[in-house]
């Protein structure tokens, strides 16, 4: 009966999880930790389901385009920019948007809403502030559904965030973006070049939601990953797609979980044109900082942001420029920082320096009397030499334009020996350089280099990749991705997973000596990783029918990180007989620690067994659940015994040293079907060496694969069947 209730409750749930994939989270690059509430693990397209009855109240506005409130007489929902609806900028350069939050919300709801508002302050000049009598303000209420007016309306204007269905981080961001004046991505003026609308699949009375709008796109590309883009099945009447990306019909669409770099760039271009955080991709930051600079007499020659001793800038690896490894396996790089930076600027630099230690063996440390070191100074722009030069070598981070996390990482990667992505030896297989659009005196920046690519694929998301308009003389692209020219290019704001892999391979950063062998994120005692069920690794059932799993958590986590871990542990109790509890003196237990990445053994091992949740990259609800499922005895979905009936593994696209991760295992599938939405399923590009899929669903190759952000219904059924939680 208990199990039946679990299944029924799941079937009644109407919120699909379509957002950050589990593979993305395990491969997460340094940056912010995960969202705190389970409510954040959904797609903004959930708005459509929540809004079935929106706007039907007597005092509620007409709702169009899914969640845009339309003032009386403006049913055509003309773009905000046509009627002047921007919020005013103050003399200090900031845009203050007053708000009132209704007393209908719980403290937890208010926390989610305020976090959504605060996220704008972190990346733009927008500041949501409590209303103190201002004439114009937003009034956040729990009305029928999720909706907002488009831009400032004058007076108080409702932003509806219904408590049951709308209080999620990405939906808060989505509706606030409407309030700032931004439309849906699929309605923008150039959308027909990027998506095909299948009107025959759209609910007839909802077809108006796909009307094009004469939007101001602020010079940014169409973005499938915008938090303003709906999913491919939005408003479908037959469960067939209503939108298909072109030319690549398999491109992921409408699965954003938070604002991305293009969303942020648009805010800054519309509102913050004079704000120093307006250009957020590393390549735009560098070009902005270095444009027109005249180096001082004692500064080196530059090739864009690379200081060179020779014009041809031969790759560092050809003349031996690595920093030395110490006996403990670490690479210690001494540095000094000039005393002309402010405390805030020093924090940014220090954060960039420290970000390497959490995911690599690189350790930047203040110089004592070491001969070779980097000297971080505010010179003419942002630049660095490539690799160790000997004695003092400058890393220039000009106070005016270079003090951003991504720029600090970028220049330090140069100092470690890495060149730009677009100059690597195999780049012509991945980007087309449009020479006729490049400024004549900048063409040398696109010369190919005989780079050592460390066996990693070309990475459009590398922090070392410039954006598609870099050094353009006419506003047209200088680089176009191939074969899919719509791929986001050079929009990174921090190191990617491939950047990190390259550091570790170049400097031979191996796991700590006391850490286990890994098969991706599975710790193994034997290379063949036989399934747990073949050697009896279940946790014991107690007399009350519950499975009690003792745990300890290392003391190096912050209070916020502990909350994320605890929520993951507690999530099993609500859907199964599993109870994670704090260890007292039990012999067998899991030890949750921040080690080298995210990993776990499969099933109970006996005595202490590590579940590694690295502070920098693993602290997301889905990742916690994923690793705990390993500890309970579950393998990855793509390795299960019947997988060949459901996915085609494309071996030729897999990195050669990662193919073992796709070996089938004689799994016990608990009578459940293969589940593309399992939190144990990786996404279709996992371990790709060339940017092409490594797994293709069959027979429907367009099925979403590995996009889960929490346990699926089948994951829960398997737990209950394996541990016999039915009585």
Alpha helix segments (H runs only) across 556-649: 559-571, 621-632
Determine the Cα–Cα distance for residues 675 and 715; give it in Å rounded to an integer: 9
Q: Which residue has the tokens 């609500």?
A: 574
Q: Where are the beta strands (DSSP E) in 338-434?
A: 362-366, 373-377, 382-385, 392-397, 431-433
Active site residue 586: no
Which positions ≥6 away from 392 have C-beta within 8 Å? 336, 373, 374, 375
Distance between CA atoms of 279 and 288, rounded to whole angstroms?
A: 8
- Strands across the sheet containing 95-101: 62-64, 68-70, 146-149, 156-161, 137-141, 95-101, 126-130
Using CA atoms, how far residue 560 sits from 27, 237, 557, 713, in Å, is: 21, 42, 8, 28
The DSSP element (H or E) to which 589 belongs, if any, is strand 589-593
Ramachandran bin of 637, using left for φ above 0, alpha for ψ from -120 to 50, beta for the remaining angles:
alpha
List all residues 6 or more positions away from 221 whose beta carbon is below 8 Å from its beta carbon: 262, 468, 486, 488
> With left for phi above 0 and alpha for psi between -120 and 50, is residue 181 left, alpha or beta?
left
* Nearest-angstrom CA–CA distance, 674 and 408: 44
For residue 289, the SS3 value is helix
Q: Which of 210, 203, 133, 142 is nearest to 175 (CA)?
A: 142
Place of tokens 């060949």: 644
Cβ-count burial 545-568 (b if 16+ within 10 Å, e if not): ebbebbbebeeebeeebeebbeeb
How far apart CA 636 and CA 687 sit, in angstroms, is 14
Q: Is 116 helix (H, G, I), strand (E, B) or coil?
A: helix
Beta-carbon count within 10 A of 373 CB: 21
Task: Kindly report the number of other CB atoms within 10 A of residue 433's CB atom.
Answer: 19
Per-residue tokens: 528: 């063949």
Burial class of 396 by CB neighbour count within 10 A (0 to 12, 13 to 18, 19+) = buried
Q: Catalytic residue, from 38, 49, 122, 175: name it.
A: 175
The residues carrying an active-site annotation are 175
């Amino acid at each position: 009966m208990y199990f039946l209730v679990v299944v029924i409750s799941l079937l009644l749930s109407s919120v699909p999880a379509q957002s950050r994939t589990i593979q993305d989270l395990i491969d997460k690059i340094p940056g912010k930790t995960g969202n705190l509430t389970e409510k954040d693990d959904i797609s903004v397209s959930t708005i459509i389901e929540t809004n079935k009855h929106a706007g039907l109240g007597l005092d509620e506005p007409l709702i169009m385009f899914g969640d845009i409130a339309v003032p009386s007489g403006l049913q055509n929902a003309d773009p905000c920019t046509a009627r002047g609806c921007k919020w005013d900028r103050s003399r200090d350069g900031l845009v203050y948007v007053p708000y009132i939050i209704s007393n209908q919300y719980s403290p937890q709801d208010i926390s989610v809403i305020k976090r959504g508002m605060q996220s704008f302050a972190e990346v733009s000049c927008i500041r949501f502030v409590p209303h103190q009598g201002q004439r114009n303000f937003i009034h956040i209420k729990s009305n029928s559904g999720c909706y907002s007016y488009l831009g400032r309306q004058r007076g108080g204007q409702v932003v509806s965030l219904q408590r049951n269905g709308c209080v999620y981080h990405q939906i808060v961001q989505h509706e606030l973006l409407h309030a700032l004046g931004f439309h849906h991505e699929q309605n923008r003026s150039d959308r027909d070049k990027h998506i095909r609308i299948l009107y025959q699949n759209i609910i007839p009375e909802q077809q108006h939601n796909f009307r094009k709008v004469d939007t101001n796109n602020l010079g940014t590309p169409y973005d499938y990953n915008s938090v303003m883009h709906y999913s491919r099945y939005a408003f479908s009447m037959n469960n067939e797609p209503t939108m298909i990306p072109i030319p690549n019909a398999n491109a992921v669409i409408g699965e954003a979980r938070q604002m991305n770099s293009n969303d942020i760039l648009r805010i800054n271009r519309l509102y913050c044109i004079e704000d120093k955080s307006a250009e957020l991709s590393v390549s735009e930051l560098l070009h902005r900082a270095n444009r027109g600079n005249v180096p001082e007499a004692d500064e080196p020659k530059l090739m864009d942001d690379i200081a060179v001793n020779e014009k041809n800038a031969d790759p560092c690896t050809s003349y031996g420029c690595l920093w030395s490894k110490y006996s403990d396996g670490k690479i210690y790089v001494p540095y000094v920082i000039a005393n002309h930076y402010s405390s805030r600027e020093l924090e940014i630099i220090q954060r960039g320096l420290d970000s390497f230690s959490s995911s690599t063996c690189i350790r930047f440390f203040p110089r004592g009397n070491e001969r070779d070191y980097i000297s971080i100074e505010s010179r003419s722009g942002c630049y660095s030499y490539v690799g160790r030069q000997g004695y003092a070598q400058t890393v220039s981070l000009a106070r005016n334009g270079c003090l951003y996390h991504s720029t600090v990482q970028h220049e330090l990667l140069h100092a470690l020996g890495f060149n730009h992505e677009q100059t690597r030896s195999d780049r012509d297989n991945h980007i087309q350089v449009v020479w006729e659009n490049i400024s004549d005196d900048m063409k040398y920046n696109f010369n190919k280099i005989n780079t050592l690519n460390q066996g990693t694929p070309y990475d459009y998301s590398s922090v070392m990749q410039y954006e598609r308009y870099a050094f353009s003389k006419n506003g047209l692209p200088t680089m176009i991705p191939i074969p899919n020219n719509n791929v986001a290019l050079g929009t990174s704001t921090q190191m990617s997973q491939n950047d990190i892999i390259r550091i570790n391979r170049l400097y031979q950063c191996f796991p700590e000596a006391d850490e286990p062998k890994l098969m991706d994120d599975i710790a193994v005692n034997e290379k063949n990783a036989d399934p747990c069920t073949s050697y009896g690794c279940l946790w014991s059932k107690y007399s009350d029918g519950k499975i009690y799993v003792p745990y300890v958590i290392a003391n190096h986590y912050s209070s916020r990180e502990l909350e994320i871990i605890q929520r993951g542990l507690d999530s099993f109790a609500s859907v199964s007989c599993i109870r994670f509890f704090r260890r007292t003196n039990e012999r067998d237990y899991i030890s949750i620690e921040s080690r080298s990445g995210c990993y776990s053994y499969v099933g109970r091992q006996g005595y202490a067994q590590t579940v590694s949740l690295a502070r920098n990259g693993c602290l997301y609800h889905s990742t916690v659940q994923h690793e705990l499922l390993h500890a309970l005895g579950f393998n990855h979905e793509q390795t299960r015994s019947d997988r060949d009936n459901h996915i085609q593994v494309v071996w030729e696209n897999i990195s050669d040293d990662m193919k073992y991760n796709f070996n089938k295992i004689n799994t016990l599938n608990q009578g459940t079907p293969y589940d593309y939405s399992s939190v144990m399923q990786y996404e279709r590009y996992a371990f790709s060496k060339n940017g092409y899929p490594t797994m293709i669903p069959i027979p429907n190759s367009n099925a979403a694969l590995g996009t889960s952000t929490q346990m699926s219904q089948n994951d829960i059924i398997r737990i209950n069947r394996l541990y016999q939680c039915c009585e």
